[in-house]
């Protein structure tokens, strides 16, 4: 996609891994070959400026120097949640616990990849998830949806990034040095630590404009079989569209008399409390098949220090959910369990897929609703991170079949958990891990 770019490249991610030299070289070659091509990067400031050599920020400086700040723009979002004395006390390795820029979209001309592992074309879209480092391209299970020839969708992605530019720092090289840079805040109406309401109003304005645009184009879209609804979640900015959308979806499934099967997955399985409550309380005609990362597939498995306890903490979260579902009478062994919890593991792989697939009728039917994007469906995504996800409704048999294959392929590497799972010696959760997890549960 990058090599054939003609007009614009817009990449949004948590950060870009500094080992991704091939990606940077490809961007450099594309910009050199086409003087009218522009590049915009939207990344998280705290993650991109970690005190490491090189940091993501210093890694990107050669691109800016080669083509100038008019053609290569790097915008870094910093959570306003971490400020004052706390910002000075929290070690840099842990400051991302107060929230990050987590939206993961890759838009090139009129094509878009939303990270979330199926590449499918769609015939149309209405108005309108991952980080770019080596493991995401080699041994990490994720989701990727690729939309071709979709100028309306791409324009939305570009406008989403532009809407947030006034609330970001611009990365600017310092002349005469190879690795020094300035972080430039140019907003004259809001400061870098108190822009929440301004950003929220701007995002609401973006959503409202595209709603009106969709109404205006409704006649032209009569032949469409697929519609996307973008939902923005940023608890720190007061935007809760994803939360409202998911709760409405779950309520609708519960109130309907139509049987439904919901596949739900998250690499970091610490379901947001309101979602968990609705799942547990749902009637028997709604069946839930959930996939979480097994401990060895957790991205923090084998990490040093406190972060090495994170897979153990997620075992505790899983076990608590499973026991709650068991007490509610929703757990039984086998395919007939109303709530089925599975763990994904594959040798030497990590698991990062997240999303929701909804099938109506029996389980052999294909999904007609899917939620995909950057959200991990946990408390952190709801309260701290700035997320962009999409609810997709489709009547396309081809797309539905692709979504079914995607969800079924994920389940091929998943094993259903039961009471014996938690009794295994390697699944013991130390009391110190429980205490740590309880203290920072909203950050995991």
Q: Judging by DSSP bridges, how do beta strands 72-77 and 355-360 pair with one another?
A: unpaired
Q: Rounded distance, CA 54 to CA 50, Å?
A: 9
Dist CA 199 CA 239 (whole Å): 9
Cα–Cα distance, 124 to 406 (Å, whole number): 20
**Predicted TM-score (pTM) of this structure:** 0.90
The pLDDT, as a whole number, for residue 121 is: 31
Kindly state the helix (H) or strand (E) to which residue 383 belongs, with its residue range. helix 379-383
Distance CA 237, CA 198 (A): 9
* CB 158, CB 10: distance < 8 Å: yes
Longest dimension (CA), the chain: 69
**Cis peptide bond upstream of 54, omega within 30:** yes
> Would you state the pLDDT for residue 222?
62
Which tens digit of pLDDT belongs to each residue from 39-51?
999 999 999 999 8
CA torsion 405-133-169-300 (nearest 10°) is: 80
Q: Name the stretches of the chain with pLDDT < 70.
A: 116-138, 216-222
Write out pLDDT tens, residues 299-324: 888 787 788 888 899 999 999 999 99
């Amino acid at each position: 996609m990058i090599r054939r770019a003609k007009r614009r490249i817009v990449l949004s991610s948590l950060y870009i891994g500094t080992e991704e030299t091939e990606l940077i070289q490809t961007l450099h070659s594309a910009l050199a070959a086409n003087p009218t091509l522009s590049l915009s990067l939207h990344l998280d400031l705290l993650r991109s400026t970690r005190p490491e050599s090189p940091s993501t920020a210093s890694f990107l400086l050669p691109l800016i120097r080669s083509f100038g700040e008019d053609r290569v723009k790097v915008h870094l979002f910093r959570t306003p949640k971490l400020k004052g004395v706390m910002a000075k006390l929290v070690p840099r390795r842990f400051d991302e616990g107060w929230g990050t820029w987590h939206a993961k979209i890759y838009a090139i001309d009129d094509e878009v990849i939303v990270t979330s592992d199926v590449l499918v074309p769609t015939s149309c879209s209405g108005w309108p998830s991952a980080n770019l480092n080596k493991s995401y391209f080699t041994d990490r299970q994720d989701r990727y949806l690729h939309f071709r020839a979709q100028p309306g969708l791409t324009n939305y992605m570009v406008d989403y990034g532009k809407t947030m530019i006034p609330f970001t720092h611009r990365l600017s090289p310092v002349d005469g040095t190879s690795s020094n840079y300035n972080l430039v805040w140019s907003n004259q109406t809001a400061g870098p630590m108190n822009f929440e309401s301004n950003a929220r109003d701007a995002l609401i304005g973006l959503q409202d404009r595209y709603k009106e645009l969709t109404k205006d184009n409704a006649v032209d879209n009569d032949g469409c079989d697929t519609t996307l609804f973008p939902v923005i979640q940023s608890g720190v900015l007061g935007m809760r569209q994803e939360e409202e959308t998911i709760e409405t979806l779950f309520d609708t499934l519960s109130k309907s008399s139509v049987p439904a099967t919901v596949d739900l997955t998250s690499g970091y399985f610490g379901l947001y409390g309101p979602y968990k409550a609705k799942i547990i309380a749902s009637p028997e005609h709604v069946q839930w098949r959930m996939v979480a990362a097994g401990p060895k597939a957790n991205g923090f498995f084998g990490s040093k220090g406190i972060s090495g306890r994170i897979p153990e903490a997620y075992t505790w979260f899983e076990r608590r959910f499973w026991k709650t579902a068991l007490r509610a009478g929703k757990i039984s062994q086998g395919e007939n369990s109303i709530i089925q919890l599975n763990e994904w593991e594959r040798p030497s792989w990590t698991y990062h897929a997240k999303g929701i697939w909804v099938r109506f009728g029996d389980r052999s039917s294909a999904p007609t609703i899917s939620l995909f994007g950057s959200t991990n469906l946990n408390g952190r995504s709801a309260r701290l991170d700035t997320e962009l996800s999409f609810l997709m409704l489709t009547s396309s048999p081809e797309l539905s079949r692709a979504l079914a294959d995607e969800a079924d392929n994920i389940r091929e590497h998943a094993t259903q958990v039961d009471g014996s799972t938690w009794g295994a010696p390697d699944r013991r959760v130390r009391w110190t891990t429980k205490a740590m997890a309880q203290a920072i549960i909203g950050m995991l």
